[in-house]
Amino acid sequence: MVQRYTQLCPVAFGAGAVSTTGDVAKELGFCKVLVVTDENVEKLGHIQKVVDSLVAAGIEMVLFNRSEMDAPDYSVQAGAALAKGEAVDGIIGIGGGSVLDTAKGISALAANDINVAEMLDYTRKMMPLANPSMKLILIPTTSGTGSESTFVAVISDTTTHEKIGVPSPPSFAIVDPELTLGMPKAITLYTGMDALSHVCEALTSIQPNPHSDVLCYDTIERIYKWLPVAADEPMNLEARENLALASNHAGIAFNDAMVHLGHAIAHSLGATYHIPHGVACALVTPVIIELTAPVYPDKIKKIGACMGLTVSSKEPQEIGLAVANHLRAFQKELGLPTFKELDLTREQILGCMSYVANEGLRFLCPVPVTEAVITESLGKLYDSYQ
């Protein structure tokens, strides 16, 4: 079988990489850029490193610091209006997943003569925009989203409460683990679990390839080993480097192999109850492992092996349950919350049924996603934790 894998964009990886932003911007031919971020990232002082590098390279900049959680459509509209008004020739996004998605959305919208609602409609109808996105550099400040190496921007439609995946590929990614030093424990855990969910779904989607599989297994090993270290030692650079690489590898892997039912469920919980994406992903991943074990028993066994678990059974359902429970125990040890602790009832979780049933990612699950499968999966999210 012939399988394709993608080399989406170059990546500059390593401690101090952010200081090369100006050089990268110059390489891309930028003269005046819009720097997209949020107030939190601005307060952490990361923006100054980008500014210093741009100034040294002789590149003008305009700041847009109004990115918000879950990349709402109105932020994308405001950022694109600023980009057009200031006649910038490039976009730089620096921040967590929501900021990077906002920057991607802005780079798509600013290149076209439409408003954000029209752009989301084009995407729903799978119609391409007239012009390609503006050139874009993405600099993650968390280790989870992988958005710096994926072609889609997940934008929230605040009218319909849907999350829409707008195509907008980055031109260059700068992954600097130093930007993640000192990250609070909760964000470290949530983002790490997001990356773990990306690879567990990429391994078990309908379209994995040999390249994505290699990156996925490596990612699981790194996260299992280094996430507890980073959670307890926020300034441990070796742990941060491993998690930054894992997150980026996960992004490259799922850009091809895609995620599936787990993210359809996580998106529904985020859109309906504002459950942090990483928490929803963490809790749903064991469910996906159990669900896909009959299709990919050897892969699920290997996921377990990457987390130090040897499963001797040849029975797919036993393999799935063993690996899923091992992951649940790991998450409990790390202190991740359960839905019960988040004060969500079983009925509320089951109420996500219609959202999940209409989420496009469900088609990438190797198990047909019937209403019964969705109900069982949503129920397990609650029932698996006492």
- Interface residues toward Fe ion, by CB under 5 A: 194
Q: How far is the CB of 113 from Fe ion (least distance, A)?
A: 31
Nearest to Fe ion of 33, 202 (CB atom) = 202
Q: How far is the CB of 198 from Fe ion (least distance, A)?
A: 6
Q: How far is the CB of 62 from Fe ion (least distance, A)?
A: 29
Nearest to Fe ion of 33, 99 (CB atom) = 99
Q: Are 195 and 222 in contact (CB under 8 A)?
A: no
CA–CA distance, 187 with 168 (Å, rounded to integer): 26
Q: How far is the CB of 98 from Fe ion (least distance, A)?
A: 11
Q: How far is the CB of 281 from Fe ion (least distance, A)?
A: 5
Q: How far is the CB of 277 from Fe ion (least distance, A)?
A: 6
Closest CA to 164 of 91, 273, 95, 71: 71
Nearest to Fe ion of 47, 269 (CB atom) = 269
Report the number of secondary-structure helices (H) and strands (E) in the chain.
Answer: 16, 8
Query: Which residues on neighbouring strands pair with residue 173, listed in sequence order?
Result: 11, 138
Q: Are 164 and 124 in contact (CB under 8 A)?
A: yes
What are the residue ranges of helices labelled H in 45-180?
A: 46-56, 73-85, 97-109, 116-124
Q: How far is the CB of 126 from Fe ion (least distance, A)?
A: 22
Q: Are 31 and 59 in contact (CB under 8 A)?
A: yes
Closest CA to 123 of 135, 108, 136: 108
Crossing angle for the helix pair 97-109 and 116-124, nearest 10 degrees?
Answer: 100
Nearest to Fe ion of 82, 266 (CB atom) = 266
Nearest to Fe ion of 53, 142 (CB atom) = 142
Nearest to Fe ion of 90, 146 (CB atom) = 146
- What residue is closest to Fe ion based on CB? 194
Nearest to Fe ion of 51, 69 (CB atom) = 69
Q: Are 34 and 105 in contact (CB under 8 A)?
A: no
Per-position DSSP letters for 240-307, written without gaps between them: HHHHHHHHHHHHHHHHHH---HHHHHHHHHHHHH---HHHHHHHHHHHHHHHHTTT-HHHHHHHHHHT
Q: For residue 162, what are its two tokens?
A: 């849907």
Q: How far is the CB of 280 from Fe ion (least distance, A)?
A: 9
Q: Are 289 and 279 in contact (CB under 8 A)?
A: no
Q: How far is the CB of 316 from Fe ion (least distance, A)?
A: 26
Q: How far is the CB of 310 from Fe ion (least distance, A)?
A: 29
**Type and span of the H or E element at 231:** helix 210-232
CA–CA distance, 204 with 219 (Å, rounded to integer): 15
Nearest to Fe ion of 319, 378 (CB atom) = 378
SS3 (DSSP) at 169 = coil
CA–CA distance, 156 with 72 (Å, rounded to integer): 5
Q: For residue 226, what are its two tokens?
A: 């280094």
Nearest to Fe ion of 200, 245 (CB atom) = 200
